[in-house]
Structure formats: structure tokens, C-alpha cells
Amino acid sequence: MEKIKIKVILIQLSGLVFFIYGIYQFKIFSVFEKFNCAFQSLSYQSSIPTCWTKNYGDTEEIFNFISSVMLWKFYGLIIGIVLIGLINWKNKISILNTILGAIFTYIVFYFLFEPFLSIRFNDFGLLFSNNFKTRYLIGGITFTFIGITILFLSVNINLFTNKQKVLN
């Protein structure tokens, strides 16, 4: 049985977090007007008709819409796990690495750091634009690209070490 490669798991964990959040920001970008209306309706709960009630009708549908948007984080996790599995399989790394990476990503992303990461990643878009929709587009492109790059480089640990150490 092959050894568990902790460095690879940790690098893939960080790559998956970027990938998942990039996919999530792409989803928000694709339904931004509806997402913004839902956010305003939930933020300003008053008797004043909001954007959601004017354009989309029943306010009970807000929660169905929000949950369908949040489901894309799970889709990103599934796609990322499949990607990690293919990368590890191609490079003959143990399946245990894929399983442990998926478990650690699920624990980190959904239970511990999700609010912290959301705030930090949303602030990234402020560097480029004041328009909310553009922020989500730039964030989605950037984080998905960073995540995929980290995932593909994760198996090439030699890129992160000194070449003299590898030769010896």
C-alpha cells in the first residue's frame, strides 16, 4: 500500500477551496439580478414591496432560489473531487489521498472557514470594480483558474522544492 502524501493533500485542499468558490461566484454572476433581489428582500424585511415581489412574485420562492444557488458549492466540491481523483490516478497516487482530501475539504469549507473565506474572497473583487456583477465575474474567473492551477501543480511537488535536493 502506498503512503499517504500529506503535502499533496494540503495543496489539493487549498486548490479545491479556490475552485469551489470560483464556481460559486460564476453561479452568482449568472443569476445576479435575481440574487440581488433576493438579498434585498431578505435584508429589508418590511411591508415595502421589494424587487423580488415586483418581478418574481411569491416571497416563499426566495428560499428555494437561495438554496439552488448554494447548491453550486456542493457541485463545485463534486467536480473538484473528480478532478483530484483523475489527477491522482494519472500520477499513480493512492486513492486514499483523494478520499482524505475530499473529507478535509468538506470539513474546512462547510464547517469551519466558509464565512471567513466568503468575506475575504468578496473583498478581492473590490480591487477591480465597484460594480457587484463585475466583481463576481472577475472573482469567478480568477479563483477557478487559481484552483485548477493549484490542483494540477499539486502532484508536482518538485516544483516547490530546490532542484539540488531532488538530484541528491
Quote the pLDDT of residue 39: 77
Q: What is the pTM of this model?
A: 0.80
- pLDDT exceeds 60 at position 164: no
Classify residue 144: in a domain, yes or no: yes
Cα separation, 59 vs 57, in Å, equals: 6
Enclosing domain of residue 119: 6-167
Does the structure show a pLDDT above 80 at 34?
Answer: yes
Q: Return the axis-axis angle of helices 6-30 and 132-153, rounded to nearest 10°.
A: 160
CA dist 16 and 31 (Å) reads: 23
In a domain, residue 91? The reply is yes
| Domain assignment of residue 101, yes or no | yes
Q: Which residue has the cell 469551519?
A: 112
Calpha distance 75→92 (Å, rounded): 25
pLDDT interval class at 51 (50, 70, 90): confident
The burial class, CB within 10 Å (0-12 / 13-18 / 19+), for 105 is buried
- In the chain, the number of structural domains is 1
- The answer to whether the Cα torsion of 108, 103, 97, 149 is positive or negative is negative
Q: How many CB atoms lie within 10 A of CB 155?
A: 20
Reported as half-sphere exposure (CB side, CA atoms, 13 A), residue 157 has a value of 13
**With 60 as the cut, is the pLDDT of residue 15 above it?**
yes
Q: Is residue 1 part of a domain?
A: no
Looking at residue 145, its pLDDT comes to 94
Residue 58 phi, psi (nearest 5): -60, 130
- For residues 117-126, give the mean pLDDT: 71
pLDDT exceeds cutoff 60 at 48: no
